[in-house]
Structure 1
Amino acid sequence: MKTQLEEIIHQVYHKEKRNLFTFLTGAGISSDSGIPTYRGTDGIWVKGTQFHKPEEFGTLKYFKQNPEEVLKYSLFRKKMFESAAPNESHFHLAEIEKMLQDRFHLITQNIDNLHRRAGNHRIYEIHGNNREIKCSNGCKEIVHLPEEIKGKNIDEDLTAKEIELLTCSYCGHWMRPNILWFDEYYDEKTNKKFSSLKVAKTAERFLLSELQERQIFLLPLLKLR
């Protein structure tokens, strides 16, 4: 597979036009880092969610009804992500970006930050990321999760200071993770909807690392080829 990829890159790279390469990754690429995929027997939607159906738990509606439960779960995942290290596949993609430079683009469904930690920069995080938060009431801009807020075990409660930091200073509503939930739609501000579609459409080669879990977004991308 590695030799085949090298041949594809070599062939396209040396064409006269400045052709682009776009890679698409999902949860599978991080499984070798110890991060469970979503729907496996030990998956993220099983561990820590009190066995809710993902379509119920992973929604803005559920967050508004149970904000502390969802934020505790988000910080549980934060600890999981931070304890993991990028694996060989992440580093390979970082090496390819160094070689291709501005001809390289990476569209990822992952929110775990492992691509950035491996050295990738031209990334479109179409499901958002776990580094940032925003007001659940929709006001103001996306901001970084305060450094004072650390990852937690699933049974740890939020402290009074964390609750203060996770309250919007403009309207008083809860701040929420900057990720895409099941009852939400892709947009440009959070999910780079239009810019990611553009780099997919203009790519000479569109390479999928594995079968993706969110087929609904994958299908329009494939039709652009």
Structure 2
Amino acid sequence: MPLYREITTDIVLIDIIDFSKLDAKQQLEIISFLTRSYRKVIEKMLSHSEIVLESFIMGFIPTGDGFYCILSPKYKGYGVILGLSFNHFSDQIAKMFPYFHGIRIAVHTGGVNQFRDILGHKNFIGDGLNDCARYLELKDFTISTVMVSDTAYENFKSFLSKREDYKELLQRREFKRSDAYIFQDKHHITKRGYLVWMRKSGIITPPKYKL
């Protein structure tokens, strides 16, 4: 029996808007380009910070029309910034594919459990993944924003309280936050979160922590 050990960390969910309305060729083209491009973005971010992928991200989970990105627990609080960085790059993708209508991004701090799937690959399950997906159900979701759960936002504030350099950088980028949104998900559970964005968007590299 596998040892049950829940890990609480930041989860970033990428979801392609109107993916199901694309034909099979377009779906394959855009999901292939999106995942390949985001992988390169992450690798570039890590090279600038001089950290290895395994110490930053525990894993990726494809969803068919996007993917989950599960951060290492020591980067809890940075997930909001990673979501904003992902959002910036989606604008570049839209210029290449006229049928691409953008992405929706949700960030949540929650619990996940790691296991080996039937092919022997590392995989994850947990309430944190399901809860993260619920934040994409917000009716007022707008392009060029990231939806952040109240839990993720509290960890984000804690991260900034310890990293004055990132706090100042976000101020220069004109980071903005909406008033709180309170809504019920499809299971009639009340959720609370915020839409966030930067007026001067861009990719922000993660901090380097000691191993």
The two structures share one fold, judged by TM-score above 0.5: no
Q: Which structure is higher in strand share?
A: 2
User: What TM-score results when the alignment is normalised by the length of structure 2?
Assistant: 0.32
- Which of 1 and 2 has greater Rg? 1
